[in-house]
């Protein structure tokens, strides 16, 4: 039993070792099923495809959930092989509340819930939860770990930038509301409504569904767009430099130092 | 009396010292009230909330103003503890005209003014002044000091960029006016009106409420958008490099220098 | 015969040597014809010009194809002068499947095909293939080689960024579909349809043909625009730094190295 | 006479020397008149102001032209004081065809031409030439010299980027024309018409007056927007680094070099 658990652990977790071939095959299968799920979730909403392939979509849904459920239970069973979760009860409980196990759970739980749910509104919301199946791919991607690292490292600067953006958004939207409300009471109906304009102006999206028409509003709108470019340049610059540093580090893990000036060579 | 003033000064100003716990508590309370004010100012403009919580909004408004007024008077009273404003009269006058004291004043003054104002238009404008309460948060934020420093340091480059943007805006809008006025006399009615197009084109917002329709106008519109990306890249680049320098400085206050070439290690 | 082939090879390929003047003249002629083809392809679609200069367009089309065909056959004939393709049969076959020979072929083949094709739909698609004539200019441009090099070098980072953008697009569009579908069933009719919104929002294009109208949708729309700026900053930063490195390298082919620390001076 | 010419030269050209006070005063007057001309040109097109201040605008126009004409003639007279234009005839002819003298001429010539012109269309175009008066300010601005230097230095890269942008625009617009023409024959009527879409998509302006509606067109539209962000990042990055280098150079004109590794200190 303990031997089977060890073997299964090696298959589920992609790590160098004996059963590497089987592990690779299993994980490729898992990535394929996740990708197919992504395609199914997206195409499922197109009425033509939904009508034509309704049975196929349902069958694949049931198959995916069964597959993911078996995998989820197995992962909980074998997780004790990992030193971090070695205790038979507390270790498994600890594992269940780890980020990746929660994602795995959210990928299957809505299906079972919808079997008993009668309220259509709740079923609709639960369907949205299927998107969590896509996040399962993060287990395999360096990209997500990279983002996590960059965000963790540049946390302080990003919070600072976000605060500035929110602060600026409130100020700009408040002033715009008082300037444009009289001219366009339907569009700039309240400060929260004006904030939608504020975001589209500061990010330079500019859908055109809401925009100032008074001369003063246009002046303020122009200044907002210019300010927005400057403001969003800040977090952008922070992220770009953060990513560049990490990518460089991964490519050149070892560095030599000049004995004369101590600079990296 | 002098002792009370000293204690109060220590509470109002967040500085290391004896009454640090009380000071921290008081300043957290102040930040909370300012944040609640921001939320109240924003939600107050939503008709549904305004109707439902009218009494709450008014009560909180009165409470905030009374709180800020007492605090404002106290700050003037205790400011003489600060060496910069030590004279009992001239020091206080000097303090009243400091940036942060002016912001504090603008946060409360409109309320008292509206009590006596009868003209609704003025009352409306004075309500806008309540946004200054948000700026009070700048007292606590490193972000604002950072922006202030970056802007001060890169002043020359920012003025240069702004001049270029304004110059380009006038040139582009003037040419576009003469090109498009005949085809769209309502939209491109004058050069100032065309400037609104100029800003939305150069910042790439592009609301779509005004855009060229003649072939020559479209050619000019395309060139303007490309020029705009180049032009706004300049101040953006300046700001990003400015922020990066400051953030790096704060993180690494001490630097080592190579004994051979004097460069930082 | 072998002598003629050698001379012709020198004329067709721009390389230093004897017949450099003729080679330069021939290649300038080729660039001119390609550029004229680009202008003809573009103007040909304007009804007025097409009616007025119909004969001219047809004559130039025939002339171009004949010229390109003779050139294409000649290139196959003389390619054996190149060491890479020296075998009389396998060398030529190898050359025919090289990138530049395929582009040359795609630039002429549609014309001959349309002579026999009777289906108008196919003729229409084949006309599109004439755009490959423009790609022939890549033979002469350093810019295209530069792009090729940068993309090859930064492949890993670009794939990572593209994956992130696609992943984000699916997530954002799926959530938006469930949020907005009830309010705008015609616009946000399916997740693939919502992806069109997703792209215009994340790239900040914002045509305005599709945009959220519910408060929750607007909130998500704002977050998407901000995320989009951050996401696209990544590949942009990668490309800019890649180009800068290459341009710097081309300008300074030789570098000196400090004898002490081995760093470039 | 020669003495008067020398004095006048010193007044017209801002250079250190005897009559510096008068020179400064004169040049400030000139900048003021140019700025007022900019304001007059812009406000003149607003119907209300034009009606109200018609006489004022005309008077200021006449005054400006007379002032600029006298100044232009004087500059030609005194230019021989400059070593570059020392010959009494060829020097002056050389000066007349210098960039700044041509700008000075274009700022006044349209006025005299309109006195005799009878064709209203020509008068309208000539009015546009008054914008050249704004360019006169370039004589005083470091910003314009900076731009000139950056553009000259990064010429090769900017030409390369521009070529790429034009090439991409033709390719993308041609493909989009063949994809969307059948669905929207009025909007995507020809490749030149589609290029207007191409520019607004690649610069992410997105007015919304023209956008793809077919699924294939939307896919291409999405890819275009993403490509556009990458493409325009290139010239933007080049310009930003060019400006940064120049601004740094101006601030730190002298550089020290480490005797050990030859690197700048």
Q: Can you give the pLDDT of all 265 residues of chain B as single tens digits?
A: 678 888 888 888 765 556 677 888 888 898 899 999 989 989 988 888 888 888 999 899 999 999 999 999 999 999 888 888 888 889 999 999 988 889 889 888 888 888 887 777 777 777 788 888 888 887 777 777 777 888 888 887 788 888 888 889 999 999 999 899 989 999 999 999 999 999 999 999 989 889 999 999 999 999 999 888 888 877 777 777 777 777 666 665 444 455 555 555 4
* Cα(D115)–Cα(D122) distance, integer angstroms: 12
What residue of C is the nearest CA neighbor of D230? Answer: C236
**Most D CBs within 10 Å, among C127, C207, C209, to test the D interface:** C207
Does the distance separating the beta carbons of C236 and D230 come in below 8 Å?
yes
Q: What is the DSSP code (8-state) at residue C57?
A: H
CB contact under 8 A, D225 and C203: yes
Helix (H) / strand (E) element for A215: namely helix A215-251
Which tokens go with C43?
A: 């103007």
pLDDT in tens, A19-34: 677 888 888 898 899 9
CA distances from D195 to A121, B48, B215, C47 (A): 45, 47, 11, 16
A122: pLDDT confidence band, cut at 50, 70 and 90?
confident
List chains touching C (3+ CB pairs under 8 A). Answer: A, B, D
Domain of residue D120, CATH code: 1.20.120.350
Residue D170: C-alpha distances to residues C37, C148, D173, D175 (Å):
12, 19, 5, 9
DSSP string, C140-204: T-HHHHHHHHHHHHTHHHHHHHHHHHHHHHHHHHHHHHHHHTTT-TTTS-SHHHHHHHHHHHHTT
- CA–CA min distance C14, chain B (Å): 34
Chain B partners (3+ C-beta pairs within 8 A): A, C, D
In this structure, the answer to whether residues C245 and C198 fall within a common structural domain is yes
What is the per-residue pLDDT across D151-210, written as a single tens digit (0 to 9) for each? 888 887 788 888 888 889 999 999 999 899 989 999 999 999 999 999 999 999 989 889
D163 and D247 part of one domain: yes
Domain assignment present for residue D230? The answer is yes
On whether the CB atoms of residues A252 and D252 are closer than 8 A, the answer is: no
CB pair distance less than 8 Å for C208 and B207 = yes
* A139-148: pLDDT as tens digits: 777 777 777 8
Which own/partner pairs from C78-86 qualify as long-range (CB within 8 Å, at least 24 positions apart)? C78/C5, C78/C6, C78/C8, C78/C9, C78/C12, C79/C9, C80/C5, C81/C5, C81/C6, C81/C9, C82/C9, C82/C13
pLDDT at res. B69: 93
pLDDT of the residue at D251: 61
Subunit contact C41:D191, Cβ cutoff 8 A: yes
**A264: β partners:** A257
Q: Say which of A208, A260, A261 has its CB closest to residue D208.
A: A208
Instruction: Looking at the structure, tell me whether residues A189 and A234 fall in a common domain.
Output: yes
> Do C124 and C170 reside in the same domain of the chain?
no
CA-based nearest distance C240→chain B, Å? 13
Q: What would the pLDDT profile of C40-96 be if each residue is shown by its tens digit?
A: 989 988 888 888 888 999 899 999 999 999 999 999 999 888 888 888 889 999 999
Indicate which CATH number applies to the domain containing A210.
1.10.287.70
D33 part of a folded domain: yes
- Across A176-197, average pLDDT: 92
> B255 vs D139, which has greater pLDDT?
D139
- The answer to whether D48 touches D57, Cβ cutoff 8 Å, is no
Domain shared by B65 and B186, yes or no: no
- Same domain? For D11 and D116 the reply is yes
In sequence order, what are the residues at sequence separation of 6 or more whose Cβ sits closer than 8 angstroms to the Cβ of residue D239? Answer: B230, B233, B234, D150, D154, D158
In a domain, C234, yes or no: yes
pTM of the model: 0.85
Same domain? B14 vs B126: yes
**Phi and psi of B82, rounded to 5°?**
-75, 135
Chain D residue with minimum CA distance to B177: D45
Query: Quick check: is A146 in a domain?
Result: no
All residues of chain B having their beta carbon less than 8 Å from the beta carbon of residue C204 are 204
Closest alpha carbon within chain B to D211: B208
D22 and D118 inside one domain: yes
* Whole-number pLDDT of residue A194: 93
Q: Tell whether A20 and A122 lie within a shared domain.
A: yes
Rounded to an integer, the average pLDDT of C227-234 is 82
pLDDT surpassing 90 at residue D216: yes
Could you tell me if C192 and C233 lie in one domain? Answer: yes
**Residues of chain B whose C-beta is under 8 A from some C-beta in C?**
204, 206-208, 260
CA closest to B189 among chain D residues: D46
Q: Which domain holds residue A163?
A: 152-251
The predicted pLDDT at position A18 comes to 60
Does residue C202 share a domain with residue C125?
A: no
Contact state of A178 with B263 under an 8 Å Cβ cutoff: no
Q: How many domains does chain C have?
A: 2
Q: Of B140, B163, B196, which marks where a domain is finished?
A: B140
Nearest alpha carbon to residue D26 among D43, D39, D14, D38: D14
- pLDDT category at D213 given cuts 50, 70, 90 is very high
The answer to whether D145 and D80 have CB atoms below 8 angstroms apart is: no
- Whether the CB-CB separation of D226 and C204 falls below 8 Å is answered with no
Q: Which residues of chain D have a CB within 8 Å of the CB of A208?
A: 207-208
Q: Are the beta carbons of C206 and A200 separated by less than 8 Å?
A: yes
The whole-angstrom separation of Cα A244 and Cα A149 is: 12
Question: Percentages helix, strand, coil for chain A, rounded to the nearest 5?
Answer: 75, 0, 20
Question: How many CB atoms sit inside 10 A of residue C23's CB?
Answer: 19
In chain A, the residue whose alpha carbon lies closest to the alpha carbon of B50 is: A190
- Structural domain ending residue among the three candidates B85, B116, B140: B140
pLDDT, mean of residues D107-116: 84
Q: Which chains sit next to A, with 3 or more Cβ pairs under 8 A?
A: B, C, D
Q: How far is the C-alpha of D184 from the C-alpha of D212, rounded, in Å?
A: 8
Are the C-beta atoms of residues A235 and B212 closer than 8 Å to each other? no
Nearest by CB to residue C208, choosing from B204, B208, B260, is: B208
| Helix (H/G/I), strand (E/B), else coil: D56 | helix
| From C137-151, C152-166, C209-223, the region with the lowest mean pLDDT | C137-151
Q: Closest CB to D244: pick one of B173, B218, B241.
A: B241
* Alpha carbons C86 and C69: distance in angstroms, whole number: 22
Distance CA D169, CA D233 (A): 15
Which chains pack against D, by 3+ Cβ pairs within 8 A? Answer: A, B, C
**Which residue in this structure is represented by tokens 């229409």?**
C124
Q: Calculate how close chain D gets to C204, using CA atoms only, in Å.
A: 6
The answer as to whether C263 is a domain residue is: no
Chosen domain end from D140, D164, D190: D140
| Chain B / chain D CB contacts < 8 angstroms | 122
Q: What pLDDT, on the 0 to 100 scale, is given for residue D59?
A: 92
Any domain includes D258: no
Q: Answer whether D91's CB lies under 8 Å from D76's CB.
A: no
Residue C262 lies in a domain: no
Query: What pLDDT band is residue A64 in, cutting at 50, 70 and 90?
Result: very high
- pLDDT value at residue B169: 92
pLDDT > 70 fraction of chain C, expressed in percent and rounded: 90
> Considering the domain boundaries, does residue B118 fall inside one?
yes
With residues binned 3-state (H G I as helix, E B as strand, rest as coil), the percentages for chain B, rounded to 5, are 75, 0, 20
Question: Is C159 in the same domain as C235?
Answer: yes
Q: Which residues of chain A lie closer than 8 angstroms to B44, CB-CB? A: 191
Using a CB-CB cut-off of 8 Å, the residues of chain B touching D232 are 226, 229
- pLDDT tens-digit readout, D24-46: 888 889 889 999 998 998 998 88
């Amino acid at each position: 039993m303990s031997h089977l658990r060890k073997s299964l652990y090696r298959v589920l977790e992609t790590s160098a070792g004996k059963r590497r071939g089987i592990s690779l095959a299993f994980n490729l299968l898992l990535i394929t099923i996740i990708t197919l799920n992504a395609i199914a979730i997206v195409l499922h909403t197109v009425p033509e495809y939904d009508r034509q392939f309704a049975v196929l979509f349902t069958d694949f849904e049931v198959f995916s959930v069964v597959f993911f459920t078996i995998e989820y239970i197995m992962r909980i069973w074998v997780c004790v092989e990992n030193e971090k979760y070695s205790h038979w009860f507390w270790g498994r409980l600890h594992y269940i509340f780890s980020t990746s196990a929660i994602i795995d759970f959210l990928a299957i739980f809505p299906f079972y819930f919808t079997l008993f749910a009668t309220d259509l509104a709740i079923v609709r919301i639960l369907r949205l939860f299927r998107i969590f199946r896509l996040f399962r791919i993060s287990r395999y991607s360096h990209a997500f770990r990279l983002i996590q690292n960059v965000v963790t490292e540049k946390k302080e600067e990003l919070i600072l930038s976000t605060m500035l953006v929110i602060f600026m958004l409130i100020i700009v939207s408040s002033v715009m509301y008082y300037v444009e409300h009289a001219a366009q009471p339907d569009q700039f109906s309240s400060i929260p409504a004006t904030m939608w304009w504020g975001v589209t102006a500061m990010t330079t999206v500019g859908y055109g569904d809401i925009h100032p028409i008074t001369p003063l509003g246009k002046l303020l709108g122009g200044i907002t767009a210019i300010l927005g470019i400057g403001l969003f340049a800040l977090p952008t610059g922070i992220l770009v430099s953060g990513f560049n540093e990490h990518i460089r580090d991964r490519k050149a893990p070892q560095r030599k130092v000049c004995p004369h000036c101590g600079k990296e060579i």
